[in-house]
Amino acid sequence: MNTNKLIIAGIFSLITISTMNAQKKPHLDKKKPIEERIDLLMKQMTLEEKVGQMNQYNGFWEVTGPVPKEGNAELKYKHLRDGWVGSMLSVRGVKEVKAVQKIAVEETRLGIPLIIGFDVIHGYKTLSPIPLAEAASWDMEAIKKSAQVAADEASAVGINWTFGPNVDVSHDARWGRVMEGAGEDAYLGSKVAIARVTGFQGDTRADLAKINTIAACAKHFAAYGFAEAGRDYNTVDISNSRLYNEVLPPFHAAAEAGVRTFMNSFNILNGIPATGNSFLQRDILKGKWNFDGFVVSDWASVREMIAHGFAKDGAEATQKAVIAGSDMDMESYLYVVELANLVKSGKVKEALVDDAVRRILRVKFELGLFDDPYKNCDEKREKATIGSKANNAGVLDMAKKSIVLLKNAPSPLGRAGEGILPLQKSGQKIALIGALANDKNSPLGSWRIASDDNTAVSVLEGMQQYKGNQLTFEKGADLTVGKTAFVDELVFNTTDKSGFDAAKKVAASADVVVMVLGEHGFQSGEGRSRTNLDLPGVQQELLEEIYKVNSNIVLVLNNGRPLALPWAATHIPAIVEAWHLGTQTGNAVAQVLYGDYNPSGKLPISFPRNVGQCPIYYNNYSTGRPTNGEGNVFWSHYTDVEKTPQFPFGFGLSYTTFDYKNLKINKTAFAKGESVVVSVDVTNSGNYDGKEVVQLYIHDDAASLARPVKELKGFELINLKKGETKTVTLTLTDKELGFYDNDGNYLVEPGTFKIMVGGSSDKGLESGFELK
């Protein structure tokens, strides 16, 4: 038999086997609609097998190694073989995933495939900037492409579900998890949520079956970002107005974008833990929003309802969680132990179990796992995809777009009237100072579970690519001196200044000093709340000592949250917010410093003057005493510092300048339902080509509920050549002009509105109109 005949015979054999399987297991018939296939499968399932689909275990043993023989791991392994596990997390790599999937598909009674989850927060192995940094780009297409890179690599190692995006709005820089979200604003956060969901999943639900997409998960539902005092896992107590207008919009946007899963949050809301909160999960998510995917608990959050004092034991915690709409139990080990008995005793209706299982199976069918359980288990693709040239180019592009220029004061080292940046490419002596400048690990940031340590391009390596200047590096001082007994909890250097003198010596003889200071990558993230937002360790002292010998300093910040920098904001001529930018950090920073990329980022979160201002945010409320009109002390202010932020939301400079003129509204009065068309002329009035984020804010002058002093309701990222002018048009509809009342009803009320258009939330051209 020749080769062609062998191939044809092989194909025929596969078709025959597939047909036989479909006849034996009719839910495997690809021709049937998904809902019918779910019905057919569920009719075959025992109650225990249904409960098993609602059970998620963390990877508990090396699957390609010996089978566990004792303890909890052995029990989990038995559950897996019995078909009592619906999902696993933190199993990764084609060999491991294929091995565990083989058990589920080929050794259990019904052969239901697992959905494999993982925290792909800002990339798998090739890392993009942390999500807060990405939001600073205000570039939704770039953010979408970044998520596509993450999905490409994660899917290549067997993962088909990410626990992201985090769409928590937060006003408090003390909260370590601000690095995971899009900042302080619900409008911008909603746009970022859509970009990341479609980046992970594709543009349509049908795209989920593709080989390079993964299911996304909107988290944490809801209000986790408003933890009191910025302390992780802490109490949340907010008004309904804040819930509906600031917390829920990014979640709603994610749901409308087709996100297939939600994760509930650790906090209480109105005294009820989110995991057991029917109002959030049943009434809003699955009711008003008609969400047909499934809800997964956060890690052990079902069991934590006991610690909250909301459940007396595991059985009651399980009962309350299932009734409230929490479909899958992550690592509490409670559903698999308690739920079947609760159904048999009548305390939980089996219909609730059926609803949860339908939702889980629906996502598995949509992912194509029943049609090909090993679709993401191709070792050749794994090898070709991880760390590819294209993926590195993608994260470099994202990193450059995430950088924000905070200050660039006029300097004799720059062109006439311009700042110290961009640096000259030749003829200068540059001193590079700071331990973070030569760090290849910290720039990877927090939440990079699958990445390899020390794989970031350091700032030193990036700057060394530019050969025209004399570059000398001194660390000045170590940032850290070790770790505590806890994983990645750092001990900072607060005493050793022995490197100061060497750093001062090179600074004194340099034309320009570039100092890379900030937080270590593991100083932000989950469980890493801070009460001090200053530069950690002895970095502030180092900065001031270097300033004494050479004031021509470019301060490059590496951080996962806003920092309080009052001294630097006053004294340092140039400040670059470079966040934790991921794998290509050093190349991105160097290209911005040397002007090969003109920075265009804008802050997605306010930077306070000191920690005492926190929480601080641009869309605050006027209060009854907003100004010092009476000329006395009795007005809303601080006595020791201005009430404004150091750097406001939406702020970011460029190497060029932009002028705004001719703000126009197409009419002065509008009927409800009409579009308000706003236009403005923007001119690049500087010496470089550049990009600008044109921002539109509104204020409802008088409403049935007090409205913020301003709210972002539109923006556009534009490119302008030197000297070029563009007319930018932004449109306001009822969707932007209304708000939610305390019962969750959306209102568009008549009255007068102010608008402001500019390059930041703190200044711009102003006008107004009336809505009749």
Nearest-angstrom CA–CA distance, 160 and 118? 8
Please, which pLDDT band fits residue 60 given cuts at 50, 70 and 90? Answer: confident
**Helix runs in 573-626, H state only:** 585-593
In degrees and rounded to multiples of 5, residue 414 shows phi and psi of -100, -175
Return the exposure string of 116-131: e unless at least 16 CB atoms fall within 10 Å of the residue's CB, then b: bbbbbbbbbbbbbbbb
Structural class in CATH, domain 49-112+266-378: alpha beta
Q: What is the pLDDT of residue 18?
A: 45
Backbone phi, then psi, for 678, in 5-degree steps? -110, 130
The model's confidence at residue 70, banded by pLDDT at 50, 70 and 90, is confident
pLDDT over threshold 70, residue 520: yes
Q: Strand, coil or helix: what is 691?
A: strand
Summarize pLDDT for 597-628 with one digit per residue, the tens. 999 999 999 999 999 999 999 999 999 999 99
- Predicted confidence (pLDDT) per residue in 275-293, tens digit: 999 999 999 999 999 999 9
Mean pLDDT across the chain, nearest whole number?
95
Kindly list the distances between the CA atom of residue 424 and the CA atoms of 78, 192, 200, 596, 601, in Å, as whole numbers in the listed order: 65, 35, 40, 11, 22
Confidence at 194, pLDDT banded by 50, 70, 90 = very high
Q: What CATH number was assigned to the domain covering residues 398-604?
A: 3.40.50.1700
CA distances from 429 to 417, 424, 509, 574, 590 (A): 22, 10, 8, 17, 15
- Identify the pLDDT of residue 327: 98
Q: Mapping DSSP to helix (H, G, I), strand (E, B) and coil, where does residue 149 land?
A: helix
List every span in the chain annotated with CATH 3.40.50.1700.
Answer: 398-604
Tell me if residue 237 is catalytic.
no
- 3-state SS class at 658: strand
pLDDT band, residue 45 (cuts 50/70/90): very high
First CA to last CA distance, the chain? 82
Mean of pLDDT values over 223-240: 98
Rounded distance between C-alpha atoms, residue 189 and residue 193, angstroms: 6
| Closest to 278 measured CA to CA, from 337, 216, 222, 339 | 222
* SS3 state at 615: coil
**Residue 405 falls in which region: left (phi positive, over 0), alpha (psi -120 to 50) or beta:** beta
Q: What are the beta bridge partners of residue 670?
A: 771
Confidence (pTM): 0.95
Architecture category of domain 658-771 in CATH: Sandwich (2.60)
Contact 274, 221 (CB under 8 A): yes
> CATH 3.20.20.300 spans which residues of the chain?
49-112+266-378
Give the integer Cα–Cα distance in Å for 443 and 479. 13
Q: Supply 357's token pair.
A: 């299982």
The count of C-alpha atoms lying within 13 angstroms of the C-alpha of 69, restricted to the half-sphere facing its C-beta, is 2
DSSP-assigned letter for residue 636 = S
User: In whole angstroms, what is the distance from residue 125 CA to residue 582 CA?
Assistant: 10
> What helix, strand, coil percent values describe the chain, rounded to 5?
35, 20, 45
Residues facing 757 on adjacent strands:
696, 765
CB atoms within 10 A of CB 18: 14
Query: What CA–CA distance (Å, rounded) separates 420 from 553?
Result: 8
Q: Give the helix ranges, DSSP H, for 94-179.
A: 94-106, 131-135, 140-156
* Active-site option among 298, 327, 329, 700: 298
Contact between 116 and 365 (Cβ < 8 Å): no
**CA quadruple 272, 275, 280, 283: dihedral, nearest 10:** -100
Backbone angles phi, psi at 93, to 5 degrees: 95, 135
Q: How many residues does the chain have?
A: 772
Q: What Cα–Cα distance (Å) separates residue 434 from each residue in 247, 542, 579? A: 38, 9, 15
Separation CA 660–CA 592 (nearest Å): 25
**pLDDT tens sequence across 645-702:** 999 999 999 999 999 999 999 999 999 999 999 999 999 999 999 999 999 999 999 9
Reply yes or no on whether the pLDDT at 575 is more than 70.
Answer: yes
The pLDDT confidence band at residue 6, using thresholds 50, 70 and 90, is: very low
Q: What burial letters (b/e) apply to 276-286, b meaning 16+ CB within 10 Å?
A: bbbbbbeebbb
pLDDT at 470: 97
pLDDT band at 484 (very low <50, low <70, confident <90, very high): confident
Distance of CA 667 to the CA centre of its chain: 39
Sign of the dihedral through C-alpha 206, 212, 217, 219: negative
The confidence band for 113, taking pLDDT boundaries of 50, 70 and 90, is very high
Q: Any idea what DSSP says for residue 410? A: B
741-753 per-position pLDDT tens digit:
999 999 999 999 9
Q: How is the beta sheet containing 87-89 ordered, strand by strand?
A: 161-162, 115-118, 87-89, 55-58, 329-330
H or E stretch including 577? strand 574-577
Q: Of 593, 531, 601, 636, which Cα lies nearest the Cα of 183?
A: 601
**Strand-by-strand arrangement of the 217-221 sheet:** 217-221, 261-264, 294-296
Taking the mean position of all CA atoms in its chain, how far away is CA 723?
A: 36
Q: Which residues contact 747 (CB under 8 A, 6 or more apart)?
A: 704, 738, 739, 740, 741
What are the strands of the beta sheet with 725-732, ordered from one edge? 658-665, 676-684, 725-732
As a whole number, mean pLDDT of residues 225-241 equals 97
Confidence of residue 14 (pLDDT cuts 50, 70, 90): very low
